Each structure stands twice: as structure tokens, then as C-alpha cells.
Amino acid sequence: MAINIVKSLSDCAEITENRLEKIFSDNTGNDMTLCEAMKYSVLSGGKRIRAFLVLSFAKMFGGSIEAALPFACAVEMIHASSLIHDDLPCMDDSDMRRGVPSCHKKFGEAMALLAGDALMLYAFSVCASNSGVSDRSVRLATDALSRLSSHMGMCGGQAIDLKASCESYEELKLLYSLKTSDLIEASCLLGYYAACDEPKQSVLDDIHTYAECVGLAFQIHDDILDVTGDASVLGKPTGADLKNDKKTVFAYKSLKEAEALETELTVSAVNAISDYADSDGPCQLAVWLLTRKK
């Protein structure tokens, strides 16, 4: 059955943000400025794609939203922490994020650094404290989230990105896979683990293929938007990659080739999971991401 992906994303964002609000209202910490900086970043909007994937993959395998929601919040906290650090002057040096000042522009660089660190660390507490799933599911989820966001995944990708030294499209693919696909894979896995604590290798393989292809298509589309997009719609300056002398898909592909490649990757992502029941949400998300303007 076809779903309204825009409405589904909006509904998921509302559910996730309500739970994030509760998480931060229940745990204010010892420094209010630090807590404010954390909340400012994790509750500053966004499409909540990763939370949507957590909840959708839980549904695909018979899990409940309530059981998956702590995992969804944990992933969004990791993602928010990475954006705080991305925007710092020592990284991508961006003053705007989602149409508002970046965390370091509002709270200062030192507080932003701490807010990113605190969000990432607190995410694992939220993940590990999920009482709606089995202890084995918690262990599987915590392992996947830590591994795929660490030096073996997202952070490793950021390290490669800083060097701006990709000498081939294959090297760029590795960068994009680590930087973006891995946290998408963590989101899908956490949804699966919220529903199942005895995972099947065939399912894990299909999840990997879906996430790998969606992440690569997402990054290629970001490259396209950085060249062709509207800064007022994006909520951040365009041309940042050129300004920072970063290699993008356009070092190896023309615009036409890049658009064809993201379409091919999207088809592969959909084919990887379309035979599963209730896979409409993730499948339609992959297709919808090709049309996004920000």
C-alpha cells in the first residue's frame, strides 16, 4: 500500500521530537548553557530521516514504535552531534544550519564542542536504557550504533574528508559510505533489533545493501545541491565544497552522470528490501530523497 512519505516523515519527526523533549526535560544536567546548546542542536528541526528508518524497520519486522523510539532518539542525537562538529571552523566552517545559526555561532566554539561530545555520549545511555526490548537487543543495538558511528564508520569518514585527498571515484565512494551510509545502516539495524534479537544474516545483508546505496545516493544528491541548489531553501550557503577545496562526485562525473548514478543507486536500494512486508516506507523514502531540495 502506497504511503504519503512527506506526512509519514512529519509524523515520525513529531513523535521523535516529543520524546527528545522529554529526555532533555527529565535530565537537565549540571550546566544549563551546555544543556541548552545540546537541545538547540538536536531539536533544531530536520527531516528525521534516520529516526524514520529506525521506526520503519522496526515495523517491517513486527516491532512497535514504543520499543524502537529510544533507539530512534539515540541515532538522532548521534547525528546532531556530528552536525555540530561538522560546522566548526576546524571542519567545514559553516555559520548556518537549517536556516539558523550553527551551534558554535550561537554558543561559542568551546561550548559547541562540548555539546557535540555530550550528545554523542548521552546517545549511548539512551540506547542502552531502552527497557522496551530484550537485553540482547540492547547489546546488538549499542554495538551497531557505536561501531558505525566510530572511527570504523562515520567518524572515520570525517577523518578522510578532512584530508580532501580522494584520488579516484572508488576512494570517494569509501568516504561517502563511511560518512553517511554507515549511520543510515545503524538506523536500519536498530529498527531491526527493536523487533528481533536473533538476526538473520540474509536480512543483515539486505539492510547493508539498502543503507549503502541510500547513503551514496544521498551524498551525490548533496553534491548536486551544493552546485545547483538555492541557499535560501537549503538553509546554508552553497558552494561550500568548492570553498573548502573538497573533492565531490564532480571530480569524476558530469552532472548528467551523477544524476544517472543516484537513480541507479536508488533502484538498487529499493530492490534490496522491496520483498519484505511493510517495506513501503523505506522504499518510498529512497525515491523521495532524489527529489529533495535541501
pLDDT digit string (tens) for the chain, length 294 residues = 568 999 999 999 999 999 999 999 887 778 899 999 999 999 988 899 999 999 999 999 999 999 999 999 999 999 999 999 999 999 989 999 988 999 999 999 999 999 999 999 999 999 999 999 999 999 999 999 999 999 999 999 999 988 877 889 999 999 999 999 999 999 999 999 999 999 999 999 999 999 999 999 999 999 999 888 666 655 556 556 655 667 899 999 999 999 999 999 999 999 999 999 999 999 999 999 999 888
Contact predicate 123/75, CB 8 Å:
yes
SS3 state of residue 106: helix
Q: What is the pTM of this model?
A: 0.93
Number of domains in the chain: 1
> In terms of residues, how long is the chain?
294
Helix axis angle for 65-87 and 135-149, nearest 10°, is 20
CATH classification of the domain holding 183: 1.10.600.10
Burial class (CB in 10 A: 0-12, 13-18, 19+), 138: buried
Structural domain range at position 234: 5-291
Q: How many CB atoms lie within 10 A of CB 287?
A: 15
Contact predicate 49/72, CB 8 Å:
no
